[in-house]
Chain A
Amino acid sequence: MSVEEVLAACRQQDGGGGGAVPEPPAPAAQAAPPPEPTAAASKPAASAAKPAASGKKPGAMSVADMLAAARGEVSDDAAAPKPAGKKPAAKPAAKTKAAAPAAEAKQPVGPKDTMSILAAARGAAKPGPISKAEAAARAKESPAPKKEKPTAPPMPAKPDYAKVAPAPAVDQAERRGFLVACAAIFAGTFFVTSSLAIGFSSLAVTSLLWVLGTARFMFPNILAEPPTVFTVGFPDEYAPGQVVTKFKAQFGVWIVRYEYEGQAQIYALESVCTHLGCTPNWLDGEQKFKCPCHGTGYYKDGINFEGPAPRPLERFAIRVADDGQLEVDKSRKFKEEVGQWADLASYVSV
């Protein structure tokens, strides 16, 4: 029999029966197996209480009502039949108050809390449960409850077979020597000559040599790269509209004599596509730079006009050197999209 069935049976009995006498379940409750009487019907006290409750409430009794009623009946007292659901928890409290001293009976009846129940169980000053307010007051009065410190039993002595043989004095020295060795390494002194100090010192020296070697590697004796500053001939060697590609293989630069914004100039364009860094080719027939990777095209002045490149080619610095030759400086670049092509160092006027 499930809980629902039990409750349904109870409800049926209370609502339908309405009689003052405990009697077998109502016809509707007969659907339940007869050998298992309902929890409510089996208790004479419960059946005694229920008529009173059902007398006030002709309708179906709620579960809360039933539970409250059942709780009330345990105390076999006349207070039980009073309408449940109002303060179910207050009833037992009221009950115990009768046994409690008279002074405490005046205490407001509130919901019991865990603290008070525990206090009651401990039975320090007041045997019965107390209200929340009372508990709070009490907690203030005696802030530090006496608590006996639990004393742990003494530890058993370590058996002889478990004892570690005392370490030789040398080991202890070495152990302590670690810090000393570290200090020695940092201080650069090698007066402490233990094996650990030697090991760590040599590690530090080796690391230092590696760092120094790497630093030396960064500055090779011979630089295979072409110089970043180089001359590309005299300005009058360049015909108007000419793109010179002979410096591309060595220096990665095109020297162009053309015009930009109506001004005749000689400028050095870097032969690197601004899309993904491939090397475009100068197509003389179509008068454009064309990148083989994704098809970007640039006009002769380096402005991108087709394909995906987001910005024009970049210029290197160019100037007329003291000997009258053009000198390209690859260490300085000029970008068109931020207006750097107006910089005097980015071109040579012709």
Chain B
Amino acid sequence: MHGQNYEEFILGVSGFLTAYYVFIAIMNAVAALYLWQSGRAKPLFRFPIVGFMVSTAHIWVIVTAIFLMLGAGATNGGASVLSLSTSTRDLIDSWMNPITYSLGTLGILSVVFVARKFFVKPIVAWSLLNLSLLFMGLSMTDMEFAAIVMKPDNVPIVAMIYLLGYFTWLGAYRAVQNDERIARGEQPLESLDNEKVLVWPDLVYTELICMIVVTAILLLWGVGLMAPLEEPASTVQTPNPSKAPWYFLGLQEMLVYYDPWMAGVVLPSLIVGGLMAIPFIDFNPKGNGYYTIAERKFAYCTFQFGFLVLWVTLIVMGTFLRGPNWNFFGFYETWDQHKVQALNNVDLSQYFWVNLLQMGRPKAPDGSSTAMTVVYIAVRESPGILLLLFYFVGGPPAMVIYNKFFRQLFLRMGFMRYMVLSNLILLMGLLPLKMVARWVVNLKYFISIPEYFLNF
């Protein structure tokens, strides 16, 4: 991709874009055909004069035609026209920073969750899919965007985003259906379809087909995308940017905000341990064997927050928005090695002693004993230690006292389970809190004891 001028790049990308748009057109055509043939097309409105009834199938036929025209336009040298305007791209870039990205994602997901009855409608979800694909297509004519998205490493991540969207939609769609049925006093859909099936042929055939499909995809993937090999490894030369495997990008992002032993050892262990503790914490029999959100709001939100916001969002951010020197770059921004980001991280103890109290940080006099040094360090870091103690010791009872929901949880779960749950939730909440604190006030560590490799 690099080393090309824009004309060469457009020429190369137009062939891809044509196939891309035609693929979307075929997708919509199949959807329209399916709706029409199965009789599931919903009538939308009637043309006033002609009296022609427009249904969803007609809409998708029109969309098919639009994408076909886009494909035809792309192949005839119109790819450079079929792109977002420079001002739009600059606007998106200027709006992109860690805060807007993370909080924006959280906000969008919250809106989707609250208005899930609207967003899970097939027509809405399908429209959103089409819009996102169109956005991708229009963005592909940007060199920087294409360079990131078409990097062999990153293609599977793009596929993963769509797969994840599909499965999240599927779960929410069925949950919304079940919730409506339960509200009407009916049984969930899954309990109607509890007929037993045989291992042979039902399960084995399914597995065989899955095996063949996965093998085919892997073959195509291996043939189509070159292995992302780089220059020989060297102990004195680190690639810039140096990125973890995609599934660890969330971890790498965490490492930006925490000490290595914290983000690399303690927090991952807590993630694993917390997942293992779920059967111990969650003994609610509701939702066993059927999709539901309304009956399991807390569990659903906690999981989706931990997974979608704290893991997937960070993977996407690490893949597409982190560039050289681990700086933050917008979708269309050039990866400039020398981008200057004014970051001057300050420890909490520095904020407290120097900025607030206008005095030096407590420092043990030269030649004092080890015990005395430790005491001085404890005094120096007391603001952070007290803050975290307050958070972790005061948090669980405060939640019980001030929140009705947690009070009920406490009464139902008992002391031990509640403490495990509340501490895990507080720990999970500390990550975004720390990230926001880093972005907003350049906070480095709550507790910073580099003398003993203890930073939090």
| Residues of A bordering B, CB below 8 Å | 248-250, 252, 271, 275-276, 278-281, 283, 285-286, 290-295, 297, 305-308, 310-311, 337-338
Cβ proximity bits B319-360 to A, threshold 8 Å, 1 near / 0 not? 000001111000000000110110111000000000000000
Closest to B240 in A: A292
User: Which of B161-169, B250-258, B275-283 lies at the binding interface?
Assistant: B250-258
Q: Are A281 and B240 in contact (CB under 8 A)?
A: yes
State how many angstroms separate the Cβ of B258 from the closest Cβ of chain A: 7
Q: Are B345 and A306 in contact (CB under 8 A)?
A: yes
Q: Are A286 and B340 in contact (CB under 8 A)?
A: yes
Q: Are A292 and B242 in contact (CB under 8 A)?
A: yes
Which of A248, A276, A281, A295 meets B260, CB within 8 Å? Answer: A276
State how many angstroms separate the Cβ of B212 from the closest Cβ of chain A: 40
Q: Are B238 and A278 in contact (CB under 8 A)?
A: yes
**Can you give 8 contacting A-B residue pairs, CB < 8 Å?**
A252-B235, A279-B237, A279-B238, A283-B337, A306-B341, A308-B255, A308-B263, A338-B451
Tell me which of B236, B241, B258, B451 has the highest count of chain A C-beta atoms within 10 A of its own C-beta.
Answer: B236
Counting CB contacts under 8 A, is B153 at the interface?
no
Counting CB contacts under 8 A, is B455 at the interface?
yes
Which of B239, B242, B258 meets A308, CB within 8 Å? Answer: B258
Q: Are A310 and B453 in contact (CB under 8 A)?
A: yes
Counting CB contacts under 8 A, is B448 at the interface?
yes
A271 CA / B257 CA spacing, docked (Å) = 22
A290 CA / B242 CA spacing, docked (Å) = 12
Which 9 pairs from chain A and chain B are nearest by CB? A295-B326, A292-B240, A306-B343, A311-B450, A337-B450, A279-B238, A278-B238, A293-B242, A290-B325
Counting CB contacts under 8 A, is B259 at the interface?
yes
State how many angstroms separate the Cβ of A223 from the closest Cβ of chain B: 15
Counting CB contacts under 8 A, is B445 at the interface?
yes
Q: Are A295 and B236 in contact (CB under 8 A)?
A: no
Q: Are A310 and B448 in contact (CB under 8 A)?
A: yes
Cβ proximity bits B430-456 to A, threshold 8 Å, 1 near / 0 not? 000000000000001100101101010
Which residues of chain B have C-beta atoms less than 8 A from A293's C-beta?
238, 241-242, 252, 326
State how many angstroms separate the Cβ of B114 from the closest Cβ of chain A: 35
Q: Are A292 and B340 in contact (CB under 8 A)?
A: no
Which residues of chain B have C-beta atoms less than 8 A from A283's C-beta?
325, 337-338
Q: Are B326 and A297 in contact (CB under 8 A)?
A: no
Q: How many residues of B contact A (CB 8 A)?
A: 36
State how many angstroms separate the Cβ of B382 from the closest Cβ of chain A: 19
State how many angstroms separate the Cβ of A310 from the closest Cβ of chain B: 5
A127 CA / B357 CA spacing, docked (Å) = 93
Tell me which of A283, A285, A295 has the highest count of chain B C-beta atoms within 10 A of its own C-beta.
Answer: A295
Which residues of chain B have C-beta atoms less than 8 A from A286's C-beta?
338, 340
Q: Are A249 and B236 in contact (CB under 8 A)?
A: yes
Which residues of chain B have C-beta atoms less than 8 A from A291's C-beta?
238, 325-326
A12 CA / B220 CA spacing, docked (Å) = 87
State how many angstroms separate the Cβ of A51 from the closest Cβ of chain B: 54
Closest to A342 in B: B366
Which residues of chain B have C-beta atoms less than 8 A from A271's C-beta?
236
Closest to B328 in A: A295
Taking A279-B238, A292-B324, A295-B327 as contacts, is the C-beta distance between A307 and B343 under 8 angstroms? yes
Which of B256, B337, B344 meets A295, CB within 8 Å? Answer: B256
Taking A286-B340, A310-B259 as contacts, is the C-beta distance between A292 and B241 under 8 angstroms? yes
Closest to A253 in B: B236
Q: Are B344 and A292 in contact (CB under 8 A)?
A: no
A249 CA / B252 CA spacing, docked (Å) = 26
Closest to A306 in B: B343
Taking A293-B326, A297-B343, A305-B344 as contacts, is the C-beta distance between A310 and B455 under 8 angstroms? yes
State how many angstroms separate the Cβ of B115 from the closest Cβ of chain A: 37
Q: Are A275 and B236 in contact (CB under 8 A)?
A: no
Which residues of chain A have C-beta atoms less than 8 A from B337's C-beta?
283
A278 CA / B236 CA spacing, docked (Å) = 8
Which residues of chain A have C-beta atoms less than 8 A from B260's C-beta?
275-276, 308
Which residues of chain B have C-beta atoms less than 8 A from A305's C-beta?
343-345
State how many angstroms separate the Cβ of A242 from the closest Cβ of chain B: 19
A310 CA / B345 CA spacing, docked (Å) = 11
Cβ proximity bits B230-270 to A, threshold 8 Å, 1 near / 0 not? 00001111111110000000001001111110011000000
Which residues of chain B have C-beta atoms less than 8 A from A292's C-beta?
238-242, 324-326
Closest to B263 in A: A308
Q: Are B237 and A294 in contact (CB under 8 A)?
A: no
> Quick one: which of B402-456 are within 8 Å of A by CB?
444-445, 448, 450-451, 453, 455
Q: Are B345 and A249 in contact (CB under 8 A)?
A: no
Which residues of chain B have C-beta atoms less than 8 A from A285's C-beta?
338
Which residues of chain B have C-beta atoms less than 8 A from A276's C-beta?
255, 260, 264
Which residues of chain A have C-beta atoms less than 8 A from B444's C-beta?
308
Q: Are B259 and A308 in contact (CB under 8 A)?
A: yes
Which residues of chain A have C-beta atoms less than 8 A from B338's C-beta?
283, 285-286
State how many angstroms separate the Cβ of B166 from the closest Cβ of chain A: 32
Q: Are A307 and B238 in contact (CB under 8 A)?
A: no
Q: Are A294 and B455 in contact (CB under 8 A)?
A: no
A290 CA / B324 CA spacing, docked (Å) = 10
Q: Are B257 and A337 in contact (CB under 8 A)?
A: no
Which residues of chain B have C-beta atoms less than 8 A from A252's C-beta?
235-236
Which residues of chain A have C-beta atoms less than 8 A from B448's C-beta?
310
Q: Are B238 and A249 in contact (CB under 8 A)?
A: no
Closest to A295 in B: B326
Closest to A290 in B: B325
State how many angstroms separate the Cβ of A300 from the closest Cβ of chain B: 15
State how many angstroms separate the Cβ of B182 from the closest Cβ of chain A: 40
State how many angstroms separate the Cβ of B444 from the closest Cβ of chain A: 8
Q: Are A278 and B242 in contact (CB under 8 A)?
A: yes
A243 CA / B264 CA spacing, docked (Å) = 32
State how many angstroms separate the Cβ of B104 from the closest Cβ of chain A: 21
A250 CA / B234 CA spacing, docked (Å) = 10
Q: Are A248 and B236 in contact (CB under 8 A)?
A: yes
Which residues of chain B have C-beta atoms less than 8 A from A275's C-beta?
255, 260
Q: Are B345 and A295 in contact (CB under 8 A)?
A: no
Which residues of chain B have C-beta atoms less than 8 A from A310's C-beta?
259, 445, 448, 450, 453, 455
Which residues of chain B have C-beta atoms less than 8 A from A249's C-beta?
234, 236-237
Which residues of chain A have C-beta atoms less than 8 A from B257's C-beta?
308
Apart from the given pairs A283-B338, A307-B256, 8 other A-B contacts in the complex at a CB distance below 8 Å: A275-B260, A280-B238, A292-B241, A292-B242, A293-B242, A310-B259, A310-B450, A310-B453
Closest to A286 in B: B340
Q: Are B259 and A307 in contact (CB under 8 A)?
A: no
Which residues of chain A have C-beta atoms less than 8 A from B255's C-beta?
275-276, 294, 308
A290 CA / B241 CA spacing, docked (Å) = 11
A194 CA / B66 CA spacing, docked (Å) = 91
Which residues of chain A have C-beta atoms less than 8 A from B326's C-beta?
291-295, 307
A271 CA / B451 CA spacing, docked (Å) = 20
Closest to B244 in A: A293
State how many angstroms separate the Cβ of B134 from the closest Cβ of chain A: 34
A294 CA / B450 CA spacing, docked (Å) = 18
A248 CA / B237 CA spacing, docked (Å) = 9
A297 CA / B340 CA spacing, docked (Å) = 11
Which residues of chain A have C-beta atoms less than 8 A from B324's C-beta?
292
A297 CA / B252 CA spacing, docked (Å) = 16
